[in-house]
Structure 1
Amino acid sequence: MVITKETYHHWMLNPKNLGAIESKELLQLTKEHPYCQSSQLLFLKSLHNQESIHFNKQLKFAAAIAGDRQQLFYLITEKDKRHKQKPIVKKNEKIVIEKEKAKEQLGIGQPLQFDNEEKHSFSEWLKLSQAKPIERKDKTFKKDYSLNDKLNLIEEFVAKDRPKPKKEEFFSPSSQAKKSVEDQMTFVTETLARVYLEQEHYEKAKLAYHQLSLKYPEKSSFFAGQIELIDKLLKDK
């Protein structure tokens, strides 16, 4: 078969497509022109594409006559590099996009909307430890009470009522470790889960939503969706 200029030029532009048929033609060409560098390289590439057992033998000869061994290396490895790198780039881009969408859906970065009920429990704790004893002073203390008597009565009142509201204990790491699962569920709120998300404590946020789904089964599908979004943030982390 006569190899035309167009055919040879096509091989030069598309070495990754060289197969068994082209390999036979190139073998004949290298026999006719043993020191033609381009023909030897194309023949080598065709053997590489086929994973031929003759590749190593041809590689030694092609390397010996190659004017630029970097070009030789590039020719042989170009296909592998392209196939290995592209999926990695696409995978990384996909993960980044998924994480950004998950953050947006979870409302990360948005102002926290505190539940009025949660704020009320905290203010009640403040009133118990500070305001209530002061408010009751005029009603329960007689003017002739000594200062020590008044302080003792206030301390007794606070000590008696303090154990009732316990929500402030949730924020103590040491006491939290000692609480049972039931106790933890009592204090878990959606706001707390959001705080965990803002702090990038994704595992804690995930646990919080799991506990909330047990506490409020009617909203379990919503919490399951939140957990699914958090799993995307935890991917490859």
Structure 2
Amino acid sequence: MNPAQLITWLNDPASLDKDSLSPLREMVDDFPCFTAARMLYLKNLSQLNDMRYTSELVKTAIAVPDRRKLYLFMEDRPESSLPGLTQAGSAENRDFSLIDRFLHHVSVQEADDDLELSDNYVKPEEQTAETDAPESDAFSLDYLNYQTLYDDASADAAAFSSSQPMQGQDLIDAYLSGDHKKVEAGIPAQTTSDVASSEETPTDDATLEAMTSGLPEASFSEALARIYVKQKRYDRALEIIKSLSLKYPEKNRYFADQIRYLEQLINSTNQY
């Protein structure tokens, strides 16, 4: 095979046919780390409906550095068609956005550890024929449903984020920055007097509840959880997120990540 032929196939994968299958197979055997050749060979198998497609698909998915590129190439879709997760940037979601990015960063590193800690974990050598999943099933979780999982995650994050500034956001920002005079000025007079009569400090629950008393219930809970995270009172934030998870089951997967992260923070804090 000459380089010109390879470039032709890369520019026009539709030209792959039964005559191109053998040269591509030889190239993959000779250069197993040549990603372009592997993807072309896989595309060729797909277009010919070859029975080796499924097993080769698993191998290629492991070998390629970016499975999104593989997905787009196999589906003949432009890169712009793959939606990204909602970008964090709004003030009312900045703390939860940091948690999301942290979880996304460490999820791959912790995957094996999570499996070993699970009560249902079975070592590969202990698996029986009945518990082994078919290769096609294992692959479908990673490749065939990639677009669906990506869309669901985007929908969960977008549904939980508010496009409008949350009511009382300026008071919350002032509280977090330590501007207690502004906080007291923004709290209704009757509530302020109740807080002033308390013997607790300006960072107590009475101040928080007074400050967020005028907010809708969902915003109230989110604001309290965010403030507790900022104060490193992770146990209180965890209680609120668990309550939201039960109340809004359609966002359960989104809240599950927050719960998992907060539990890790609590465990780490208790060790010191």
Does the TM-score normalized on the shorter chain lie above 0.5?
no
Q: Normalized per residue, which structure has more helix?
A: 1
What's the TM-score once normalised by structure 2's chain length? 0.28
Structure with larger Rg: 1
